[in-house]
Structure 1
Amino acid sequence: MKQIVDVIVIGAGPVGLFCAYLLIKAGHSVYLLDKKEGPTEQSRAFNITPRSLEILQHHGLAYRILQQAISIRGALLYVNGSIIGDVFFEEVDCVFPQLTSLGQSSVERIIIEEIEKLQGKVAWQTELISYEQLGDQVVAQVKDHTNGEAKEISAKYIVGADGCHSKVRKQNPTWTYEGHSIKSQFALADLVLEGPDIARIRNRQVVFYHSRGGCILIPLPHHGTEDQITLRMVANVGSYETDDGPRVTHGVDNPREILTLDKVKELLDKRTEGLRVTIKKSLWLTYFNVNERIANGFRRDRAFLIGDAAHCHSPAGGQGMNIGFQDAENLAWKLSLALKGESSDPEKLLDSFTIEREPMVKSVMTTAGTLSRVLLADTYVMGVIRYVAISAAFNIPAIRRNMVNRLLQIDFKLGESPILAQPGTNQHTLLQHGQFLKDTRVLLNKDVAQKVDRKTIYQIMESLNDKHMVFWVITRQTWQHQPETDLTNAFIDGISSFKSCRGVVFQSITQFARYNDDKRSNNKVDHWIDTHTMSSTDSLSSRLGYTTYLAASKSVTPAAALVILRPDRYVAYSSLVSTHVELDQAFAFLNSYLLRNK
């Protein structure tokens, strides 16, 4: 049997499911397979950062997550039985200023349900046998273990989301998975606890450092009585020591031994000295083996790697599933552009996936690896460093904010990329290329033909999340004038020639007399009003850095700001524009990887 689709996705864990969901939602046919019988039954990964939750919100999934999840509000630190740190997470500048906790099994089921709403499905108990790249297609041989039937699947691209033992990666001899394993194991236990200190640790992470080793208690959604809580216990068994051999041992699927409840009770009793809790029941017990490895590139022509297939690292900091979600989003919109024929240079576009993701992944791996070494090393020197560093992180506000921002992934920024403009002299105070646009206060839609529409910039972008958004910002101080009408019209005409873009004109409330008098018969350009341009730090103009320029400008007619936002909300290009030449430079950048209509 032969089947033809746009993309084959191998692996239906949360990262593979999310990638397939994005592609199906964008109108592409996807063959999604996994050799498992169905979604995982264990909690496994559960930590969802604010950045990941914003991504899920951008694609219509956050409300499903929040219906079942809990928010983690802060942390406690114990050292040898004494509390030395007690903090609540400070408010941070994002839509969801919290760590969100929901087990992988629940996350997978939510995404599967949303895929099925889009008429997609998962081919369970189906295994990739082999694949080869033939010209402009990938041909995969798969086996359906429910009936023993062999199938041939032909696609434009194949995505390996099949974990650290990825067949997609292993079947290409040019791919390596360099790194090391950590010899010590981690004990993972999902437990229901009761006792006098339950209220103290409810919805908070609790970190214990003891001469016998470390232990972390992390809240999970609880479905029992109020006098109990459900949480994940993570404890190291053995000190930090690495093995540079090639054997990949990462994960929970092949533990070296069975974790017993008696062992968990022993660890909890010895490591959590000072905390008055007892185990009511256990939900899941296993050992976790940690590797720190990364593939030498995430693309081979029409084959791509995401999630653990591309990189794996210590669970310290809880970043694994989160950077996998970011892999999936980064890749999906680029594949979609290539599949729709809307890229002027598909090779440059698809090459940018590895170029952009690799530095971010390495940064996370470095942070997680450093945390592991600090937490697990048992030398006297490391013990002193650990005590000083963690005490400072809990008790010094500046260090605590930096730690929280890293943990919550608040300030990730793209480095160099072939689809990001080079820094230019016309940027001035504008948001730089590679920076992430944060959400704004509400804006007003200038079209009031049917209703008054009030939305934040994220809400505006959510309905157009497969498009590049191109902002023409001509907000002003009250005494300043808009640019000449022919320059704004040239922007509207020019951006309308890009099928993959949506143009938006932003004005101040004081710049017009009628709400709909500036609406042109062009369904590719919208007009919105930034109501608090100068007075609010979270107005769109302020978020873009344009308010600072306007405040410093002495010109009666300041330059407009042209900002190009990619579908993942990173800035691709920003410039002040006061001439047609400068406007044409922005369109030339867009045309370097997006196709212009003929």
Structure 2
Amino acid sequence: MAQQIGSQSWDTDVLIVGAGPVGLTLACELLRRGVSCRLIEQLETPYTIVRAHALQPRTLELFDRMGLIEPVLRQGGEVPPWYLYDGQKRVGELGFAPLKQEPYPGMWFIQQPTVEHILHERLQELGGNIEYSHNLTQLQNSPNGITATVVAPDKTVELRARYLVGCDGGHSTTRHLLGIPFTGKTLPGLLLIAEVDMDWARSRNRAHIWLHPNGLFSATFIEEVGKWQLVVAAPALSREQVPTASLDLFQQLFQQRTGDMHTRLSNPSWTSVFAINQRLARNYRQEQAFLAGDAAHVHSPAGGLGMNTGIQDAYNLAWKLALVIKDRAYPALLDTYEEERRPVGELLLQATEANTTVALSGNAGMRFMRDHLLLPLTRLPALKRKATQRGAQLDLNYRTSSLARSDELSNVKTAYSAAYLQNKLLQLVTPTLLQAGDRAPDGTCLQALDHNATSLFQEMRGTSWHLLLFAGRPGPRPYIQGLIGLAQQIEARLGAWSSEVLPLLIISSYQQLRAHNWPGKVLLDPEGRLHKRYGAQGQALYLVRPDGYIGFRGFPGRPEALFDYLDTIFLPPQISPTKEEAHV
């Protein structure tokens, strides 16, 4: 049924093209926020080939916010260690060092089809569905909305939507119809992949990797399909030399790379051969249309970041679309999607190309450095932790975004207060101190009223922003009363939109709250761990966005700075934006 809003009529708020993990994440998050969407997919049935194997800790945090972490953890497992071989001799083992401070300390081994199944179930719970065998063929994109021609098995229809998001992969029809350039390069060599049966007795709980002068060869057992996935690097081959990947070719490469002349490969469920493309869309937005996931960036699979980055694209865009569509935020909020996510895509291409050069190179000098210098170094605990942290995507930040703002100076009365000076000193001696644009970290605490154990992430689940009000050291009643007053001012200022920003008062002693009759949520941090992790020696506030990044960082002593920040994002209640009013 078409929606009539003002003089415009739409069949749906958002048309999503492509029902992989990116499109499914976007659809679930829009529906969870009360925004209508239609999700179309050109395939006839769900995609079952395993292209991606793991979720990074940052993506697990988003699934936690979505309320999906339990099935993800239940249906996955820890990433297996990698056994390294030179022929028949095992020469080493690679593993990952857990990030002990984090709720999800490392990659989680779960296959893409399983992730899609979990998301599809949630989509259905939210009242959505996938429209299979629907092909986007034409597109009209204007500031007033989208008109899309979609060919279904029994009809051709025109759909009108306020926005369209292309999540339709590296060969994106959406990107092609929008005419957005997809620039980059093709790396030398090929990757060959197959899923097969193998009559050997090697452990299924390990990944097996052979270091060979002609390129790496890996074998990993995929529990969901009951087969071994083989990945072969062929840096010296071209598509002209290997147009297709047959079982016989994989048998030949297996024997060459491993020296195992007895194990037989059989019953392939699929095989593939492809060149490694590194490409990035020139822009992620064009008027009312957006690109996300592989439609915006394709790259080497080295590092396991593709599915994860796409899911994070979708989450970033979903909360912004919802606020704008519901007339709670200025439309220019949507410009920050490309502003924030395209630089992440650029970093992704740089990192995966470097990983590919090291891991798959056919250069003798590079192989020697990899096998005799880099691999031994990765056994050192400190470097293991560094590698795990980098791959976890927890260090990605939006510090340069227009949505990241810090109020470094309070007003004249408090600019040189002990709390302010202490904070400035911490910034000088602790360069890792949290800044606006950083991911907001987790930490354990207690629910103040009943002293039940909880965590900050548990308390921030949902779709809202959260205003973290740190009380600092125990102080007199006015000290706490000022924080409570600020929370009440925010609620009054947002009016009908007040549910979009939820305050969390974080105190170090329950005595700080006694005699205060405040119905809001209070967390107790008796050992000061949360205060320390956020660098809150005195009073401090952090406004955390719906995607878990810090939007604003400041001091409660000057609420005007926070009010100004909120005013650049949120519309006054009941006011709809005009084009001239839109700003961030």
Give the TM interval when normalised to the shorter protein: 0.7 to 0.9
In structure 1, which of residues 358, 382, 385 is the aligned counterpart of residue 369 of structure 2? 385
- 1:566 maps to 2:545: yes
Structure-1 separation of matches of 2:135 and 2:550 = 39
| Alpha-carbon distance in 2 for matches of 1:460, 1:563 | 15
Structure 1 residues 458 and 513, CA gap change in structure 2 (3 angstroms): closer
Corresponding residue for residue 190 of structure 2: 185
Contact 1:126–1:143, Cα closer than 8 Å, also in 2: yes
Q: How many residues are treated as equivalent by the alignment?
A: 542
Q: 2:122 aligns with which of 114, 117, 131?
A: 114
The partner residue of 2:467 within 456, 470, 474 is 470
Correspondent of 2:535 among 527, 537, 545: 545
Matched letter for residue 371 of structure 2: Y
The separation in 2 between residues aligned to 1:433 and 1:213, in whole angstroms, is: 43
Contact 1:69 1:221 in 2 (8 A): no
Out of 23-32 and 410-419, give the one that drifted further: 410-419
Q: Give the structure 1 partner of residue 581 of structure 2.
A: none
What residue number does 2:102 align with? 94
The match for 2:219 among 201, 217, 220 is 217
Distance between the aligned counterparts of 2:372 and 2:453, measured in 1?
49
- 1:433 corresponds in structure 2 to 436
The amino acid of 1:506's aligned partner reads I
Tell me the CA shift for residue 483 of structure 1. 4.5
Report matched runs for 1:382-421 at 5 Å: 382-421=366-405
Pair 19,593 (structure 1): closer, same or farther in 2 beyond 3 Å: same
Could you say which residue in structure 2 is the equivalent of 1:320? 306
CA shift, 1:593, in A, is 1.3
Q: In structure 1, what residue type is equivalent to 2:138? A: S
Greater shift in the superposed pair: 182-191 or 31-40:
182-191
Are positions 1:31 and 2:29 aligned together? no
Q: Which moved more, 1:8-17 or 1:209-218?
A: 209-218
Any idea what SS the aligned residue of 1:156 has? strand
Question: For the residues of structure 2 that align with 1:194 and 1:594, how far apart are their CA atoms?
Answer: 61
Distance in 1 separating the partners of 2:247 and 2:237: 24
8 Å CA contact retained: 1:53, 1:62: yes
* TM-score between both structures, scaled by the size of structure 1: 0.84
CA contact (8 A) 1:475 1:541 kept: yes
1:123-142 → structure 2 map (5 Å cutoff):
123-142=131-150
CA contact 1:495–1:502 (8 Å) conserved in 2: no
Contact 2:96 / 2:384 at 8 angstroms: preserved in 1? no
Are 1:366 and 2:345 counterparts? no
Q: CA deviation at 1:127?
A: 0.8
1:395 to 1:4, Cα distance in 2 relative to 1, 3 A: same
Q: Secondary structure at the match of 2:121?
A: helix
Distance 2:114 2:480 in 1: 53
What SS does structure 2 have at the residue aligned with 1:424?
A: coil
**Which residue is equivalent to 1:342?**
328
- Separation in 2, partners of 1:126, 1:334: 27
Amino acid corresponding to residue 137 of structure 1 in structure 2 = G
Gaps of 5+ in 2: 3-9, 410-419, 427-432, 575-584
SS in 2 for 1:592: helix
Contact 1:73 1:89 in 2 (8 A): no
| AA in 2 matched with 1:44 | R
* Residue of structure 1 equivalent to 2:516: 518
**Structure 1 equivalent of residue 177 of structure 2:** 171
Give a deviation string over 1:132-157, Cα, whole Å, max 9, x none: 1234221111111x21x111211111
Using the alignment, how far apart are the partners of 1:257 and 1:333 within structure 2? 43
1:308 correspondence with 2:287: no
For 2:563, the equivalent position in structure 1 comes to 587
Q: CA RMSD in A?
A: 2.7
TM-score of the superposed pair, with normalisation by structure 2 = 0.86
SS in 2 for 1:511: helix
Conserved 8 A contact 2:143-2:288: no
Give the Cα–Cα distance (whole angstroms) in 2 for the partners of residues 381 and 64 of structure 1.
Answer: 45
Kindly provide the amino acid, as one letter, of the partner of residue 334 in structure 1.
K
For residues 411 and 204 of structure 1, the distance between their equivalents in structure 2, rounded to whole angstroms, comes to 28
Instruction: Give the C-alpha shift of residue 596 in structure 1.
Output: 4.2
TM-superposed CA distance for 1:18, in Å, is 1.0
Seq. identity, %:
27
Provide closer, same or farther for how the CA distance between residues 457 and 486 of structure 1 changes in structure 2, counting only shifts above 3 A: closer
Q: CA deviation at 1:82?
A: 4.1
**Contact 2:445–2:524 at 8 Å: present in 1 too?**
no
Give CA deviations for 1:456-506 in whole Å, capped at 9, x if unaligned. Answer: 1111111xx2211011111425xx445445522430222213322111212
Question: 2:457 matched to 1:458?
Answer: yes
Separation in structure 2 between the aligned mates of residue 360 and residue 388 of structure 1, nearest angstrom: 32
Maintained 8 Å contact 1:189/1:285: yes
Match of 1:536 in 2: none
DSSP 3-state at the match of 2:189: strand
How many angstroms apart in 2 are the aligned matches of 1:110 and 1:391?
36
Q: What is the alpha-carbon distance in structure 2 between the residues aligned to residue 383 and residue 482 of structure 1?
A: 65
- How many angstroms apart in 2 are the aligned matches of 1:420 and 1:593? 12
User: What's the CA shift for 1:107?
Assistant: 2.0
Specify the code of the residue in structure 2 equivalent to 1:576.
F
- The 3 A distance-change label for structure 1 pair 95 and 592 is same
SS of match in other structure, 1:42: coil
Deviations 1:50-91 (A, max 9, x none): 211221121022222233223214223334554443243222
How far is the alpha carbon of 1:313 from its aligned partner? Answer: 0.1
Give the CA deviation at 1:567.
Answer: 0.7
CA 315–300 in structure 1, closer or farther in 2 if over 3 Å, else same: same
Give CA-to-partner distance per residue, 1:345-368, whole Å, 9 cap, x none: 321x11111111122221121111
CA shift digits 1:100-155 (9 cap, x unpaired): 222222222221121111111111101111121234221111111x21x1112111
Name the CA distance, whole Å, in 2 between partners of 1:12 and 1:318.
20
